[in-house]
Structure 1
Amino acid sequence: MRRELILWSVMLGLIVVAFVTVVVVLNSTLYSSSGFVRSYLGALARNDMPAALEIADIRLPGANGAVSDDGSSAGPIDTTGAGSLLLSGSRELLQPSALSSVDDITVLRQQSNPDGTESVTVSFDLDGRPAQSTFTVTRSGSTFGVFADWDFVTPPLTIVRLTVSNAREFTANGTELVAPAQDVPAPYVVLTPSNIDVTHTSTFLKAEPILVSALEPGTTVRARLTVVANENMVAQVQREVNAYLDDCATQVVLFPTGCPFGQPIENRIVASPDWSIVEYPPVSLTPGSEPASWVMPPTDAAARLLVDVRSISDGSIFTFDENIGFRTSYVVTFLADDQLSITAQ
């Protein structure tokens, strides 16, 4: 009996030691501050936004507490913690289709701070590009009284203040969006870490893509996307300007009506003036003073005037044949169905 009691005591002791060992190991790995951060980044790596939001204690109104791909949501947002950041900008980029890919997660440093928090620095590949972030976390209790629970001190959210110059439409990580106003910074909330590829491509406009990196929680990143007229727009304006000037040249008067060129002649003309365009103005377009308008600045061109003239002084007839230089400028705006309105200034 005594031997059995000793045996049971030893077995119980071994079980207790094993349990304590498991708790210590789990609290230093899975339930450690670095394990908590790895769990969050792992959810991003799986493109599992609901899990990432739950781990980070970020609560978005909507189905299952997660934002949908159309950015829709309903209901109030807590104005503390993550909620205050969520209220700081648009949540249109908080959707699964806009997430960056996260791979090769490695914990670089795990540091205890004087205030009891811990800072975890992690490296990873973000959309195939090497990057790193530092997250500060704090103990928030325990599970079953033994496994540590953690919270982010600063929610893993970053504000991207994006200015879209000369347009409102843009694409961010494949998601088509419209800024509230042209040429005015607009805040967008994104998960940290994120790489946001921002660009614009349309029938008449283009932009050099920019990469916006959001790597530090609670910070603000500023970026500007500059939209310019593309080759298609310049070519179409050139065709229409050329056609307009050619039409002006068909008028058999010294000053074609509504046209940018003309020529006074002191003597009397004895035949119909014959105009032709010898130098078309090369089109270049810059942003106009009004939104969605583009301006062709005053540009040199030339028209040839050929007309027979009788001298008032001696009655002789001679041919006036000269190239008449002129300058022309236009304002271009957009119409429906990918059409342009071109107005002479």
Structure 2
Amino acid sequence: MTQPADPAQRRRVITITAIVGACILLGIVYGVVNSTVFSAKSVANSYLSSIAAGRFSEATNLADPHLNGNKAALLTDKAAGGANTTIYNQRITSSARQPDGSTQLGISYMLGTRTYTSTLTMTPSGSKFLLFRNWRINTPLLTTMSLQVPQAAGTVNINGVPVSVKGAASHSGNDNSSSTDESDATLELNAYPGVYTAKLAQSDYLTASPVVITNANGIPSESASQSLDVRPTHKLTTAIQDAVRKKLDTCAASTSANPQGCPFSNSGYSSFSTSMSDDYRNFAWSIASYPTVQNVDVSAKSFETTSGNAKVTYDEKSGDDWSPESDSNSFTVNGTFVIVNNQVKVTFSDESTSLGY
């Protein structure tokens, strides 16, 4: 007859069985959690979801691209824009373990009506809670978006985010320039896939129609590049015109035969040569017709005018007598301008042209 098991022995068997069962269960739970919550795919899905939801700051924390200043201007939530400006239907399409221990994930997403593909390289980076593998995204889902804009613009707003043209621009004169005109600047901005609207910052003197840039992996670079066509406002043209009139009025107040720094100075008229200066006196200038400002070039920050006309009266010596004389001179004016603290400052060029009598 079989002896009943010792109670202590039964308790040991039950305890051991429970421990083994618990270990098996914990192993199963660990394997499930490690392959789901803390897997490379899970981190990648969180990253893609953050971008799709417009939580760009969160995405940046998950995959820090180590950018700062204007280079990181569009990596914030505000740059996500509004509805229909971010990706959707984001998916992981493939997973491949690499010899170096990293995992390469194929991804796809939609932007607008098109589907785009890319890859994310995930690298093991320490552990979480001392048990689970931590993954780092080595290849942030960023592309370079380009916007060409005149440096005179100062600031542009991209999806409502102000970006300094000077701070983010490359232009000729810089070693890494991609611009062909040193008066224009090319903003080269890192951005998540999305639709971005670029507008000129509010200005009394400059205007431009907004441009829309679709930025996504696989889009040809020319499609991800736009130019902001900045034009002068009527107020800018008027400000330059007022500066031209003020300059000419100052010139007309001169009593010199050749007013210095004026478009009708140094005319080359032989009668006014220094060697014969004693034969002329009482020079008085007036502006018969003011030139009109035209060809205001925002990129070059320059302007030209139509022809104006200046009249001069003087006395000419003939023997012992003096006789009144008069002449007229056609001229043009050109120069440059800058906008500083919402004020237009004009510099007149030495190339302003006297067209002769």
Q: 1:16 maps to what in 2? A: none
Determine the structure 2 residue equivalent to 1:99.
80
Which letter does structure 1 place at the counterpart of 2:288?
Answer: I
> C-alpha separation between the residues in 1 aligned to 2:253 and 2:319?
30
Indicate how the Cα distance of structure 1 residues 154 and 181 shifts in structure 2: closer, same or farther if over 3 A, else same: closer
The answer to whether residue 59 in structure 2 is matched with residue 48 in structure 1 is no
On the 8 A contact 1:328/1:344 being kept in 2, the answer is yes
Check if 1:214 corresponds to 2:215: yes
Output aligned runs, 1:210-249, within 5 Å.
Answer: 210-216=211-217, 223=225, 225=227, 228=230, 230-231=232-233, 232-249=235-252
In the TM superposition, residue 170 of structure 1 has moved relative to its aligned partner by 2.5
TM-score, normalization: structure 2?
A: 0.56
CA–CA distance in 2 between the matches of 1:306 and 1:89?
A: 55
Q: Which residue of 2 aligns with 1:327?
A: 332
Larger mean Cα displacement after TM superposition, 102-111 or 256-265: 102-111
Alpha-carbon distance between aligned partners in 2 of 1:342 and 1:199, rounded to the nearest angstrom: 26
Change (3 A) 1:199 1:277: farther
Distance 1:194 1:252, change over 3 A: same
Task: Report the Cα offset of residue 307 of structure 1.
Answer: 3.8
Q: Identify which of 308, 322, 333 aligns with 1:302.
A: 308
Cα distance between partner residues in 1 of 2:291 and 2:122: 70
User: 2:287 corresponds to which letter in structure 1?
Assistant: S
With over 3 angstroms needed to count, the CA separation of the structure-2 counterparts of 1:302 and 1:230, relative to structure 1, is closer
CA 309–187 in structure 1, closer or farther in 2 if over 3 Å, else same? closer
Q: Which moved more, 1:279-288 or 1:171-180?
A: 279-288
The 5-angstrom pairing of residues 125-136 of structure 1 reads 125=112, 132-136=116-120
CA contact (8 A) 2:111 2:194 kept: no
Provide Cα deviations, 1:248-269, integer angstroms capped at 9, x if missing partner: 3344554345422156474967
Q: How far does residue 212 in structure 1 lie from its aligned partner after superposition?
A: 3.6
Deviation at 1:173, TM superposition (A): 1.5
2:93 corresponds to 1:110: yes
The 3-state SS of whatever aligns with 2:167 is coil
Residue 170 of structure 1, aligned match among 125, 146, 156: 156
**Would you say the 8 A contact 1:97–1:175 is kept in 2?**
yes
CA contact (8 A) 1:33 1:137 kept: no
Contact 2:336 2:346 in 1 (8 A): yes
Identity %: 16
1:57-94 per-position Cα deviation (integer Å, ceiling 9, x unaligned): 32xxxxxxxxxxxxxxxxxxxxxxx54x6479822222
Kept after mapping to 2: 8 A contact 1:34/1:120: no
SS of 2:108's equivalent in the other structure is strand
Match of 2:143 among 155, 158, 181: 158
Q: 1:285 is paired with a residue of what secondary structure?
A: strand
| Secondary structure in structure 1 of the residue aligned to 2:333 | strand
Distance 1:273 1:138, change over 3 A: closer
Offset, 1:237: 0.5
Map Cα deviations across residues 186-209 of structure 1 (whole Å, 9 max, x no partner): 65432x313333333333334554
Q: 3-state DSSP class of the match of 2:72?
A: coil
Aligned 8 A contact 1:195 1:214 in 2: yes
Question: Match of 1:90, SS?
Answer: helix
Is contact 2:168-2:189 (8 Å) kept?
no
The alignment of Structure 1 onto Structure 2 pairs a total of residues equal to: 281
Greater CA deviation, 175-184 or 149-158?
Answer: 149-158
SS of 2:344's equivalent in the other structure is strand
Unpaired segments of 5 or more residues in structure 2? 1-31, 129-133, 172-176, 178-186, 273-278, 350-357
Matching of residues 267-278 of structure 1 within 5 Å: 273=284, 275-278=286-289
Cα RMSD after superposing both structures: 5.2
Contact 1:197 1:210 in 2 (8 A): yes
SS at match of 2:262: coil
Distance in 2 of aligned mates of 1:335 and 1:109: 51
Amino acid aligned to 2:198: V
SS of the residue 1:44 aligns to: helix
- Residue 39 of structure 1: CA displacement? 5.2
Report the counterpart of residue 180 of structure 1 in structure 2: 167
Cα separation, 2, equivalents of 1:288 and 1:139: 46
**CA distance in structure 2 between the partners assigned to 1:247 and 1:52 by the alignment:** 61
Structure 2 partner of 1:72: none
Structure 1 distance, partners of 2:123, 2:345, is 63
CA distance change for structure 1 residues 121 and 199 in 2, over 3 Å: closer, same or farther? same
Q: 1:273 to 1:95 in 2, by over 3 A?
A: same
Task: Report the Cα offset of residue 241 of structure 1.
Answer: 0.5
What is the SS of the residue equivalent to 2:217? coil
CA contact (8 A) 1:205 1:228 kept: yes
Give the AA of the match of 1:230.
P
SS at match of 1:240: helix
Q: Contact 1:112/1:118 (CA < 8 Å) preserved in 2? A: yes
